[in-house]
């Protein structure tokens, strides 16, 4: 069941003026999947969502829904609903009328609509709000109503365009769990757009990382975090040390003049590569036990951990650790083989530039 392709984008290209926002994008979304489109602003993620929703028509390419071509179908004839960034509630209607809007258009019976309103308000934990006006609700409550208004129509897919963007941090975290619960209870597909990598990692089954109109990587949150395919993904998802290195042979990489054992194969011999090492994967040990030695140049307390910068072999290593090493102290750096992620060097100049910009 989960392998059914519900939505498919084939060769989709979108331009505004002379500006290509999405270039030859190919993507499929499976039934019951929680897919997140993740990327910096202007990467084309919202445009992709709007093309799926029917608010934009691609200049080239096709959109398939359940195998049928819906590229030219207007939004009101698509079996999916959208939750907009700033709620977009109808301020001249009560909460009940807002939720009932889609159902009234479809000419459902009064009783059916009543039941649906009750059910939807219960689902988003706002029972009893039927007769309130949208303006009298907090941002978080308005967003729940926007979700309720969408899901009463029983869409096969719910599109969410940065729905938590306007909420404060604590509320945002609560709503993340709420959305996961909702998705599991409804058993429908969620397509979620965000620039917040933590949100994406927490909620998604699949993450699609985008930059400058191109897909950078598609994979599970674990894949994306642990095995980024290029420097852009590594840098965008969490903090990381990205070091230009040389692959000596299978399972051995030369980083800053020192050979490190690793687990990656198939990159060839003496080939230039990029190495990603997450700051929390670096162990600071006694100088004589380290693979490289260096000196601590800065120390910041972050709550859960300390953030340190260590100057070693001409590179400033970012290290996260619960143990503190004072500034100026000499330390050894140790990295376990499976914590070293090898990536191909970017092929074109453009990719290299776009990765460096971040």
**Which residues are within 8 A (CB) of 349 and not within 5 positions of it... i.e. 6 or more apart?**
none
The C-alpha atoms of residue 290 and residue 89 are separated, in whole angstroms, by 58
Look up tokens 């910009």; give the residue. 357
Q: How many chain residues are in contact with another protein, going by CB under 8 A?
A: 24
**To which H or E segment does residue 172 belong?**
helix 169-186
- Out of 60, 105, 268, 337, point to the residue binding another protein (CB under 8 A): 105
Exposed e or buried b for every residue in 313-339, given b needs 16+ CB within 10 A?
eeeebbbbeeeebeeeeebbbbbeeeb
CB-nearer residue toward another protein: 105 or 311: 105
Q: Report the sign of the C-alpha dihedral through residues 135, 138, 140, 144, in that order.
A: negative
Site stretch for another protein (CB under 8 A), options 31-39, 81-89, 136-144, 306-314: 81-89
* Binding of residue 16 to another protein (CB under 8 A): no
The C-alpha atoms of residue 354 and residue 351 are separated, in whole angstroms, by 5
Which positions from 190 through 219 interact with another protein, judged by CB under 8 A?
A: none
* Binding of residue 143 to another protein (CB under 8 A): no
- Out of 4, 15, 71, 101, point to the residue binding another protein (CB under 8 A): 101
Which positions from 149 through 178 interact with another protein, judged by CB under 8 A?
A: 149-150, 153
Site stretch for another protein (CB under 8 A), options 102-110, 175-183, 217-225, 292-300: 102-110
Site stretch for another protein (CB under 8 A), options 20-28, 52-60, 114-122, 162-170: 52-60
* Binding of residue 102 to another protein (CB under 8 A): yes
The CA-based angle 191-227-158, given to 5 degrees, is: 5
Look up tokens 């195998």; give the residue. 67
* Binding of residue 5 to another protein (CB under 8 A): no
Which tokens in the block code for residue 337? 């083989």
* Binding of residue 119 to another protein (CB under 8 A): no
Which positions from 330 through 349 interact with another protein, judged by CB under 8 A?
A: none
**Which residues are within 8 A (CB) of 287 and not within 5 positions of it... i.e. 6 or more apart?**
293, 330, 331, 332
CB atoms within 10 A of CB 68: 8
Site stretch for another protein (CB under 8 A), options 146-154, 173-181, 232-240, 290-298: 146-154
- Out of 88, 166, 171, 285, point to the residue binding another protein (CB under 8 A): 88
CB of 90 to another protein, least distance (A): 6
Site stretch for another protein (CB under 8 A), options 26-34, 53-61, 178-186, 234-242: 53-61
CB-nearer residue toward another protein: 101 or 306: 101
Which chain residues interact with another protein by CB under 8 A?
A: 53-55, 74-76, 81-82, 84-86, 88-92, 101-102, 105-106, 146, 149-150, 153
């Amino acid at each position: 069941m989960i392998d059914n392709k519900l939505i498919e984008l084939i060769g989709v290209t979108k331009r505004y003026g002379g500006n290509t926002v999405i270039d030859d994008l190919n993507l499929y979304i499976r039934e019951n999947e929680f897919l997140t489109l993740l990327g910096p602003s202007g990467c084309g993620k919202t445009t992709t969502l709007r093309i799926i929703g029917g608010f934009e028509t691609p200049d080239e390419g096709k959109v398939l829904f359940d195998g049928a071509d819906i590229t030219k179908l207007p939004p009101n004839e698509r079996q999916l609903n959208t939750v907009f960034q700033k709620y977009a509630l109808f301020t001249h209607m009560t909460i009940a009328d807002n939720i009932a809007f889609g159902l009234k258009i479809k000419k459902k019976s009064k009783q059916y609509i009543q039941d649906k309103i009750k059910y939807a308000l219960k689902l988003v934990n706002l029972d009893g709000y039927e007769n309130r006006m949208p303006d009298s609700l907090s941002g978080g409550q308005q967003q729940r109503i926007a979700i309720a208004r969408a899901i009463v129509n029983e869409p096969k897919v719910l599109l969410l365009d940065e729905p938590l963007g306007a909420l404060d941090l604590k509320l945002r975290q609560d709503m993340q769990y709420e959305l996961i619960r909702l998705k599991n209870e409804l058993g429908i597909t969620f397509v979620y757009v965000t620039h917040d990598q933590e949100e994406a990692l927490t909620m998604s089954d699949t993450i699609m990382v985008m930059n400058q109109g191109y897909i950078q990587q598609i994979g599970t949150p674990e894949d994306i975090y642990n095995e980024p395919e290029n420097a852009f993904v590594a840098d965008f998802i969490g903090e990381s040390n990205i070091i230009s290195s040389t692959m000596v042979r299978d399972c051995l990489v030369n980083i800053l003049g020192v050979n490190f054992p690793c687990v990656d194969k198939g990159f060839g011999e003496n080939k230039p590569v990029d190495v990603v090492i997450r700051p929390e994967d670096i162990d600071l040990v006694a100088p004589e036990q380290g693979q490289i030695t260096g000196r601590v140049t800065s120390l910041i307390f972050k709550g859960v951990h300390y953030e340190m910068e260590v100057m070693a072999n001409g590179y400033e290593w970012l290290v996260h650790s619960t143990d503190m090493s004072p500034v100026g102290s000499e330390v050894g750096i140790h990295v376990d083989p499976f914590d070293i992620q090898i990536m191909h060097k970017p092929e074109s100049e453009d990719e290299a530039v776009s990765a460096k910009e971040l």
